[in-house]
Structure 1
Amino acid sequence: MEGYAIPSGMPWHLTDDVYVPINSNTEFHWDLTVVALKELCIKVYDSMSSIRSNRKLSSEIQKMATMLPKYLELSGFFEKNERTNWSVLKCYQGKNKSHPFEVSHVTGIAQQESSSLDCGIFVAAYAEYLSDGLQVPSCGISADTILLRYALLLWNYGIVKARNGYVSDNENSEMRKTIKKI
């Protein structure tokens, strides 16, 4: 989100948080889930949580909370401790490593209007705030403004790319720096 190209093959043990957009299987709605590896927790950012009285956990998030720890254990994730010594983290003490992740719904965040279909825009905005190290605001996120901002970023990206004669996104890191300044 900050203009850096993170390799898709980057090992999870070198990250703190993993952002996963989740589409509910029962309705057309997206949430942002943040897998906080050092907290043994999945944080759910739902742009309709104030509208929906039933905060039932989607089956996708339930499956992730249960299967992810087992996958991490089987893949040798916890043995790779050059960056993090998992055994000394408080949330891992006294628990077996395949213990399900705790799931928490983040409250007090900006919400979309009840009649809109802007959940994807809110997921992108939440991810952008969090990746910049900021808290998601409790109000003031305008889907129209975010859409306009992203359209301008893409338009400028295309102009810079065409002006420099680039064919691939990976040909020039200077172009990424230029776009990040906007």
Structure 2
Amino acid sequence: MKGFGIPCGLPWHLADDVYVPVNSNGKFHWVLTVVALKERCIKVYDFMSSHRSNRKLFFEIQKMDTMLPKYLELCGFFEQNERTNWSVLKCYQGKNKSHPFEVSHVTGIAQQESSSLDCGIFVAAYAEFLSDELEVPSCGISVDTLRLRYASLLWNYGIVKAQNGYVSNNEDPEMRRTKKKKRS
């Protein structure tokens, strides 16, 4: 399962990496963080170099760095050894369960233009690269091409849903009856 984020319902101890988008300052900038569980590390993919020294972003990552081990300890993550024996991994040895994860800022990645609001596209693209176990590009990201690609994927998803008679993500029988009455 290398490179996969946690699909809905899959326990954390069965994934290697967990993708978490983090908002910077509650504004328009997002970064992708990858919690590499077997490395006990949070990798930060920031697509605007000017934001690397942003104190509020650093504070948000630091909160995750501190809260995550405590959450994992409380939910029994470290006792789940059927796939991974956490206690034998070098990065877990000599550390108590609530010891913070290491934070690593990934460098040498493509950057968005400082005046753009394209960080959502970058978060989606980088999550896709990483989950497909592809090298993250250092340049040459075409935001317009990615927008078209993601719009096409969403459009196709909508068409397939409509062809199969789905009316919502929620399979609420009331929603189905309401929608069918409108068709008549």
Q: Give the shorter-chain TM-score range.
A: 0.7 to 0.9
- Normalized against structure 2, the TM-score is what? 0.82
Counterpart CA distance in 2 for 1:160 and 1:10 is 25
Counterpart CA distance in 2 for 1:170 and 1:132 is 28
Counterpart CA distance in 2 for 1:104 and 1:129 is 18
Cross-structure match for 2:9: 9
Cross-structure match for 2:90: 90
6-15 vs 144-153, which deviates more?
Answer: 6-15
Deviations 1:127-167 (A, max 9, x none): 00001011211011111110011111112222222233333
Counterpart CA distance in 2 for 1:70 and 1:107 is 28
Counterpart CA distance in 2 for 1:134 and 1:44 is 17
Cross-structure match for 2:68: 68
Cross-structure match for 2:113: 113
Greater relative contact order (CA < 8 Å, ≥ 6 in sequence) = 1
Q: 1:154 to 1:36 in 2, by over 3 A?
A: same
> Structure 1: which 5+ runs fail to align?
172-182
Counterpart CA distance in 2 for 1:114 and 1:54 is 14
Cross-structure match for 2:142: 142
Deviations 1:67-104 (A, max 9, x none): 11111112211001100000110101111121100001
Report if aligned partners of 1:25, 1:59 keep a CA contact under 8 Å in 2: no
Counterpart CA distance in 2 for 1:13 and 1:139 is 34
Decide which structure has the larger Cα Rg and report it. 2
> How many residue pairs align between the two structures?
166
Residue type at the aligned position of 2:21 = P
Percent identity for Structure 1 against Structure 2: 82
Counterpart CA distance in 1 for 2:37 and 2:84 is 10
> Structure 2: which 5+ runs fail to align?
172-184
Residue type at the aligned position of 1:34 = V
Cross-structure match for 1:54: 53
- For the residue of structure 2 that corresponds to 1:90, the secondary structure is coil
Counterpart CA distance in 2 for 1:52 and 1:30 is 10
- For the residue of structure 1 that corresponds to 2:61, the secondary structure is helix
Counterpart CA distance in 2 for 1:119 and 1:111 is 9
Report if aligned partners of 1:31, 1:45 keep a CA contact under 8 Å in 2: yes
- Normalized against structure 1, the TM-score is what? 0.83
- For the residue of structure 1 that corresponds to 2:91, the secondary structure is helix
- For the residue of structure 1 that corresponds to 2:144, the secondary structure is helix
Aligned residues: CA RMSD: 2.1
